[in-house]
Amino acid sequence: MNSSFYEEGSRVLTRDAFQFVLETELKRAVRSQTFLTLVVVDARREWDGVSVTADDGTVRDLAEMVSNEVRDTDLVSQTGTGRLSLALLDADFENSRNVIGRLLGRFDNYEFGTPLSIAVGAACYPTHAVDAESLRREAISRPVVNRRLGLEQRSSEDIK
């Protein structure tokens, strides 16, 4: 078990730290009646028509890109195999779309070694859920965008 709060040499929280801080921030949002949006990014690598869950190194790279594009107070973590989570504090669902758009622009400009497919979902407290687990389920089930990266002929899907 990793006893540090952040992944070595980065602003990316460990999974356990992310869960703890997310729950704490949700309690704060309840008390102060503010918004909190959870964004999840699921990444898959593609080789010769086969799609596999992205490895930890790929997700770490995505997490580093994300941590450079968000406020210092927002939370970033690799929360599962092939999954990156981002908690946007004091941000409603509409404001999260701006952040997601900025992240997609950053991803579009990065040269991935192999093609990568990402699915981005988001959910907001109190609009979509009231606790950490239901917020996570809602974010996963609310796709905002699906995008293929690192391909010469990329689809032109934009944020819905």
Mean predicted confidence (pLDDT) in 108-130: 90
CB 160 within 8 A of CB 120: no
User: Considering the domain boundaries, does residue 103 fall inside one?
Assistant: yes
User: Considering the domain boundaries, does residue 2 fall inside one?
Assistant: no
pLDDT value of residue 160: 47
User: Considering the domain boundaries, does residue 159 fall inside one?
Assistant: no
User: Considering the domain boundaries, does residue 77 fall inside one?
Assistant: yes
Looking at the 3D structure of the chain, how many domains does it have? Answer: 1
User: Considering the domain boundaries, does residue 9 fall inside one?
Assistant: no
User: Considering the domain boundaries, does residue 10 fall inside one?
Assistant: no
User: Considering the domain boundaries, does residue 38 fall inside one?
Assistant: yes
What is the domain extent for residue 112? 15-149
Strand ranges in 65-154 using DSSP code E only, listed in sequence order: 75-80, 83-89, 116-125, 143-149
State how far the alpha carbon of 119 is from the alpha carbons of 10, 32, 47, in Å. Answer: 24, 31, 17
- The CATH number of residue 62's host domain is 3.30.70.270
d(CA 12, CA 156): 30
Among the residue ranges 52-56, 78-82, 146-150, the one predicted with the least confidence is 146-150
Q: Across the chain, which distance is largest between two alpha carbons, in Å?
A: 51
pLDDT value of residue 151: 59
Neighbours of 121 (CB within 10 A): 21
Name the band, by pLDDT with cuts 50, 70 and 90, for residue 155: very low
State how far the alpha carbon of 139 is from the alpha carbons of 11, 47, 92, in Å. Answer: 22, 27, 13
Inform me whether the pLDDT recorded for 16 exceeds 70.
yes
User: Considering the domain boundaries, does residue 122 fall inside one?
Assistant: yes
